[in-house]
Structure 1
Amino acid sequence: MSVSGSQGGERLDAFMGRANAAYYARLDPFADFVTAPEISQIFGEVLGAWCAVVMRGLPVAPGSSVRLVEAGPGRGTLMADMLRVLARLAPDCLTGLSVHLIETSTRLRKAQGEALAQCGVSVCWHDVLSDVPPGPMVLVANEFLDALPIRQFVRTETGWQERFVQNGQWSLLECADVPPEVTGRGEVAGDVVEISPASAGFVRDVAERLRREPGVALFIDYGTATSCVGESLQALRQGRPVSALVEAGTADVTAHVDFASMARAAQEAGAVCYGPDGQGDLLRALGAVQRAEALCRSAPEQAGALRSGLDRLIGPDRMGRLFKALAIASPEVATVPGFSEKTAGEQQ
C-alpha cells in the first residue's frame, strides 16, 4: 500500500512526519509544552550521575573515547545539566568524551549550541544515528520517540482498514497486508491499533550498534508498558489541545510509546533490555528525592519550587507513572543503574 495517493490521501505516518518536521523547523516547541529537564534541574542531574556510573561500568579500557549521545536534545538543557554533574562528580569520565546531538532543526541546534557553549567538551550535531562515529556509546533520549510517526489500523467486522489523512479529515482504506505486530492484542470490531515502525526502527538501530560495540541507551517517554489497543494521537498548538489533523507544521503531534514493542525490537537486534519502569521509580532509585532535599537545604527560599518540580516528575498522578523508562544495553554490560532486572522476552 502506498504512503500517499490521490484516492485515499496521505498515510498517517507520512502526514505526521511531514507535520512535525515543519513544526520543529518553524516554531519554538517549548511554547507549547514543557519537558522534564525544563521542570527541574534534578532530572538532568540524576541522569548525569547515571551516565557516570554507566561509563565507568562499560567493558572498555580506562580513558577510552566514549560518545555521549542525545536524541532530540530540545534546548540543550538536559545535556548541559548532565555535563555539569559529570564535571563536578566524575571528571575522569570527561577524558576522551565527545558529545553528539541527533537534531535536524536548525533553530534548535542554535539553542543547543548556546546552552553548551561553555561545557568544555567537543559537541557535534548529526541528522541520524548512523552519522555518530563508532565507539563506546551512552545514549539518552527523553521525549524523543513520542514525536516519531505512527500508523493507525481500525478493526472492522470484515477485516482491517488503515487511516489516511485527506483534506484535514480521516480517510479509511482497506488493508490487505496488515503488519503482524498489529494483531494478537485481543482486538474487536471498532478497536484502533497503533504501531510506530519509525520508533521501532530507531531503537533497533541503537540495539544493533550496542550489539557490536559496548554501551547503554536510556529512553524516557510517555506511553504504555504493554502492547494494547486504543488511539493516543494528540496535538498541541499554543499550549492547547487541537485536532491532530490541523494544518501540517502548526502543532506538535505526538502519540504514546509502546514500550513493549520497543523492547522486542531491541531484543531481536541482540541487545539486552531493562524495564520499562515508571519514571518516578527510576528517579527515586537514582536519588532524586535525596538530591531535592540537599538543594532545599542549600537554598531554602527555593524549597517550595524544588519540591513542586520533583512532585511533577515522580508523582504517580503526574509524570511518575505515565512516563516510562527503558534501558537497552550491550550483552556484556553486567548491570544498568536504576533498574532491578532484565526485561523478560526473547532474551535469556
Structure 2
Amino acid sequence: MEACNAYYYATRDPLGARGDFTTAPEISQMFGELVGAALADAWQRAGKPWPVRFVELGPGRGTLAADALRVMRSARLDPPIHFVETSPTLRAAQALQHPGAHWHDRIDELPDDGPLLLVANEFLDALPVRQHVGGQERRIEFIGGHLAFDRDGEIVETAPARDEAVAAIASRLVAQGGAALVIDYGHPESAPGDTLQALHAHRFARVLDRPGEQDLTAHVDFAAVARAARAAGAEVTLLAEQGPWLERLGIIARAAALAATAPERAGEIEEARARLCRPDRMGSLFKLLAIHAPGWPAPAGLG
C-alpha cells in the first residue's frame, strides 16, 4: 500500500472528473471556509499567540488552504503556510495557488517555534495499514500471473504509520501549542473488519488490480487516533460527523448567502451543501475530531 500510493501520488493529479476521486474542498468553497473559521476562532480564543502557522497535511491542489486562509485573513490572521506533501505533481499545483508556501516531506520537519493551526483532510486514510488473520499477518503473493492474498478469514487491521503520524501531530501541539482538525471517513470504535479499498475513475475497484495506478485507502479508526493523541499528552475532542459539524458552524446560512449573491448558481450551491452534509452522502461517513494542546480551546462545534 505504501509503495503503490507513493508512486500513484507522485505521478498524477488524482482529483476531479479526470482523476479517481473528489474531496470535500473540491465540492464547495464552504468546506474550507468553515475549517478556516474554526481554526481562526480557536486562535482568537487562545489569546492570538504569535508566531502561528497554518499547516495542511496532504493538501491536494491547495484548494482547502485557499478557502481557509481567505476566511482567516478576514479575521486578521495571515499566517505563513506550511504543507506536508511529497508528490512533485501536487506540489506544483499547490504552488500555483500558494507561491509563498513552505513544503516539507515529513511532519517532524515543521517549524518548532510557535503554535500550529493544522488540518488533515483525507490524509490518514491513505497511510498504509497492516492486516492480520488468526494472529498472522496477511501478505500478498504472485500466483498464476496475478496478485493474491495468502489467507482469508476475519481480518484485524492496524495502522502503525497512522499512529506515528497522529503521535507526531499531538507531540508538536503539546510542545508548541495549537489545534488540529482531523477529517476523514472511518469508524468511531476499533473493531475487526477489512476496510482496505481502491478507487479508479470514481468507482470501487479490486484492491490488487493496477498496483500504483489507483487510489488505495482504508477507513480511519478514530478510537485509535484518539488513543495515540492522548498518549502523546494532547487533548482530544469528542468525535463528530461531518454534516452536523458543518451545520453547527453555519453552512446553511453560508449557502444561502452565496446563493443570494449568485442566484444562477443556487441549485449548484444547494447540491454541494447536500453532498457535504446529508447522512446518506458524505455527512455521516466522514467524521472529525480535534487534537489540541492543553490550555488551548477546542475548535468550535466539537465537544
Common fold, TM-score beyond 0.5? yes
The reply on whether 1:150 has 2:136 as its aligned counterpart is no
Structure 1 counterpart of 2:225: 262
The answer (yes or no) to whether the contact 2:179–2:298 under 8 Å persists in 1 is: no
Name the counterpart of 1:82: 68
Alpha-carbon separation, structure 2, partners of 1:256 and 1:244 = 14
Distance in 1, matches of 2:129 and 2:239, equals: 20
Residue 108 (structure 2) aligns with: 130
- The CA distance in 1 between the partners of 2:218 and 2:34, in whole Å, is 26
What's the offset of the Cα at 1:336?
Answer: 2.3
Counterpart residue number, 2:9? 24
1:116 deviates by 2.1
Deviations 1:72-127 (A, max 9, x none): 0001100011112222x212x11xx211000000000000011224xxxx410000
The equivalent of 2:172 in structure 1 is 209
Whether 2:171 is the aligned partner of 1:171: answer: no
Contact persistence 1:164–1:171 (CA under 8 A): yes
Matched residues, percent identical?
47
Pair 1:304-2:267 in alignment: yes
| Amino acid of the structure 2 residue aligned with 1:161 | Q
TM-score (norm 1): 0.82
The one-letter amino acid paired with 1:28 is D
**Matched AA of 2:93:** A
Asked if 1:106 is matched to 2:88, the reply is yes
- The residue that corresponds to 2:252 in the other structure is 289
Superposition deviation, residue 204 in structure 1? 0.7
- For residues 219 and 46 of structure 1, what CA distance do their matches in structure 2 show? 14
User: Does structure 2 retain, via aligned residues, the 8 Å contact 1:141–1:220?
Assistant: yes
Distance 2:46 2:128 in 1: 33
Instruction: Report the AA paired with residue 126 of structure 1.
Output: H
Alpha-carbon separation, structure 1, partners of 2:174 and 2:48 = 14
Q: Offset at 1:241?
A: 1.9
User: 2: CA distance between counterparts of 1:239 and 1:337?
Assistant: 32
Runs of 4+ deviating beyond 3 Å: none
Deviation larger for 51-60 or 29-38: 51-60
Classify the secondary structure of the residue corresponding to 1:216.
strand
More displaced 10-residue stretch of structure 1: 253-262 or 294-303 = 294-303
User: What do the CA deviations read for 1:18-63 (whole angstroms, capped 9, x no partner)?
Assistant: 00000001122111000000011110111111121022123564xx
Distance 2:231 2:290 in 1: 15
Give the alignment partner of residue 35 of structure 2, picking from 38, 42, 47.
47
Over aligned residue pairs, what C-alpha RMSD do you find? 1.4
Residue by residue, what CA displacement relative to the aligned partner does 1:264-322 show, whole Å, maximum 9, x if unpaired? 00011100001211001211111111100111111111010000000010101111100
- 1:187-202 equivalences in 2 (<5 Å): 190-202=153-165
**Paired residues of 2:56 and 2:120 also in contact (CA < 8 A):** yes
Contact 2:53/2:80 (<8 A) preserved: yes
Cα distance in 1 for partners of 2:274, 2:125 equals 22
Q: Which moved more, 1:285-294 or 1:103-112?
A: 285-294
State whether residues 279 and 320 of structure 1, in contact with CA within 8 Å, keep that contact through their aligned partners in structure 2.
yes
Contact in 1 for aligned 2:170/2:229 (Cα 8 Å): yes
Can you give the 5+ residue segments of structure 1 that lack an aligned partner in the other structure? 1-15, 173-188, 342-348
Tell me the equivalent position of 2:54.
68
Does the 8 A contact of 2:237 with 2:298 survive in 1? no
Deviation per residue, 1:142-177 (Å, 9 max, x gap): 00000000011113xxxx2211112211124xxxxx
Looking at structure 2, the residues matched to 308 and 150 of structure 1 have their Cα atoms a distance apart, in angstroms, of: 34
Larger radius of gyration between Structure 1 and Structure 2: 1
Check if 1:223 corresponds to 2:186: yes
CA contact (8 A) 1:60 1:214 kept: no
TM norm structure 2: 0.94
Distance 2:40 2:160 in 1: 32
* Distance in 2 separating the partners of 1:149 and 1:27: 19
Is the counterpart of residue 337 in structure 1 residue 269 in structure 2?
A: no
